Amino acid sequence: MLLHHYALSPFSEKIRLMLGYQQQSWSSFVVAPLPPRPVTDALTGGYRRIPILQQGADVLCDSKLIAHDLSRRLQAPELDYWQLNQEQQQLADYLDSEFLFVALNSCPPLKLLGLLKQSLSVWGLARFMWDRLGIAKEAKEGGSKGGYRRYRQQLQSLEQQLQQPFLYGDSPNYVDFCLYPSLWFVMAKAEQPLPESLPKLTAWFKRMQAFGHGNIQELSRGEVARLAQEHTPKTLVQTDNHPMLDKPVSVGPLDYARDQTQGTLVAVTAHRWVIKQKTERFGDVHIHFPNTGYALRDADGQVIPDTDALEVSQ
Ligand SMILES: N[C@@H](CCC(=O)N[C@@H](CS)C(=O)NCC(=O)O)C(=O)O
């Protein structure tokens, strides 16, 4: 289990905390806060967001899909978005999008600069600002008055919901791990405590934080590249009869950082598309995307509507 991530990345923190919650030992590859990321970029072939999970020559994109695979591998269904009810899924989606953007926007700009300066040069900082300005324009989230009002109301309603240690009972589920990264950034990174009117949420945060990150083994760029070179992608047990199977396609996010990954569609299951890319450096690589929040396109760039695929064991 090898996670490509960086310290300040909230979606990486979601996965790091899940690994800590499950007391896992895992391999870590720390990447730059913005491209170029030579090994990671070569593996994802277009997709630029972080984190990704690498398993040899298989690459999983998006924290939702990474959590889905972890939940299966660790027999922890509570970590799976697709095991939630509809209301919980909606809350998870909101926490992963507008709520997070508002939380990040609420941090004092000088604090953010100070944090970024720890890992970027002055030139890197300028590139980072420019890069994120582009992403923020695409995301169109987080700046509006309505967004701030919803954020504050959500904090109040979460405070009321917390009549037990975690949002839905005595142990956390996927939604807790979606809420955590925003509050982690605000409280632990930007050092802004929550208002005193939110004591339950503050106590919840400390309980979550105590899970830690598990046992981490750092890998070098060379080791990560070798892992991809020395493995062939996993054999997929069965694929659904999707009309685009074995055809050239592209997949990309619908919300922001919409860079496309091109390749051949080699598998479709209830929740994922798998694309094969032939790379010079690593040979064949399989890149896995969730089919929620992403679009599958044919060679002409036309979006392919979702089909009723069946989840298969992988
Ligand atoms: N839906 C994606 C969102 C990932 C995401 O937005 N990651 C941020 C970092 S936390 C990112 O990649 N930003 C651009 C970058 O780092 O290049 C997920 O759940 O993994």
How do residues 89-137 score in pLDDT, each as one tens digit? 999 999 999 999 999 999 999 999 999 999 899 999 999 999 999 998 8
Can you give the pLDDT at residue 314? Answer: 41
- Closest by Cα among 11, 29, 27 to 67: 11
pLDDT-derived band of residue 312, with 50, 70 and 90 as boundaries? very low
Identify the DSSP state of 194. Answer: P
CATH fold of 85-210, please?
A: Glutathione S-transferase Yfyf (Class Pi); Chain A, domain 2 (1.20.1050)
Q: How far is ligand 1, taken at its centre, from the CA of residue 197, in Å?
A: 31
Rounded to two decimals, the pTM is 0.96
Whole-angstrom distance, CA of residue 25 vs CA of residue 18: 12
Q: For ligand 1, is residue 48 a contact (CB within 6 Å)? A: yes
Task: Report strand pairing: 25-30 vs 52-55.
Answer: unpaired
Residue 88: partners with Cβ closer than 8 Å, 6 or more residues away: 168, 173, 174, 175
Cα(312) to centroid(ligand 1), Å:
27
Q: Is the CB of 16 under 6 A from ligand 1?
A: no
Any atom of ligand 1 within 6 Å of the Cβ of 271: no
Q: Which residue, judged by its Cα, is nearest atom 11 of ligand 1? A: 49
Distance 196 CA to ligand 1 centre (A): 31
Confirm or reject: Cβ of 10 under 6 Å from ligand 1: yes
Would you give the distance in Å from CA 273 to the centre of its chain?
Answer: 16
* pLDDT value for 148: 94
Closest C-alpha to ligand 1, atom 6: 49
Give the per-residue pLDDT at 142: 56
Find the 10 Cα to ligand 1 centroid distance in Å: 8
Ligand 1 atom nearest to 255, measured from its CA:
1
| Residue 240: predicted pLDDT | 66
Residue 313 has pLDDT above 50, yes or no: no
Q: Examine the pLDDT at 253 and tell me if it is beyond 90.
A: yes
pLDDT value for 159: 98
**pLDDT score, position 136:** 87
Strand partners, 215: 25
What are 256-290's pLDDT values in tens digits? Answer: 999 999 999 999 988 999 999 999 999 999 999 99
Residues 231, 98: Cα–Cα separation, whole Å: 38
CA of 187 from ligand 1 middle (Å) equals: 20
* Stretch 6-24: mean pLDDT: 98
pLDDT digits (tens, 9 = 90+) for 199-250: 999 999 999 999 999 999 999 999 999 999 999 999 876 666 899 999 999 9
3-state secondary structure 85-111: CHHHHHHHHHHHHHHHHHHHHCCCHHH
**Ligand 1: centre distance to CA 50 (Å):** 4
* Triad 26, 30, 36: Cα angle to 5°: 140
Query: 184 in ligand 1 pocket by Cβ < 6 Å?
Result: no
Mutation probe of ligand 1 site: the residue of 11, 128, 174 with most atoms within 8 A of C-beta: 11
**Which tens digit of pLDDT belongs to each residue from 152-196?**
999 999 999 999 999 999 999 999 999 999 999 999 999 999 999
Tell me the mean pLDDT in the region 296-309: 85
- Residue to mutate, 16, 48, 49, ligand 1, most ligand atoms under 8 Å from C-beta: 49
What is residue 18's predicted lDDT score, i.e. its pLDDT? 98
pLDDT of residue 307: 63
Summarize pLDDT for 46-61 with one digit per residue, the tens: 999 999 999 999 999 9
* Percentage, residues of the chain above pLDDT 70: 95
High-pLDDT (> 90) share of the chain, %: 89
- Cα(84) to centroid(ligand 1), Å: 22
Q: Which two tokens stand for residue 83?
A: 């095991």
Residue 204 in tokens? 């919840």
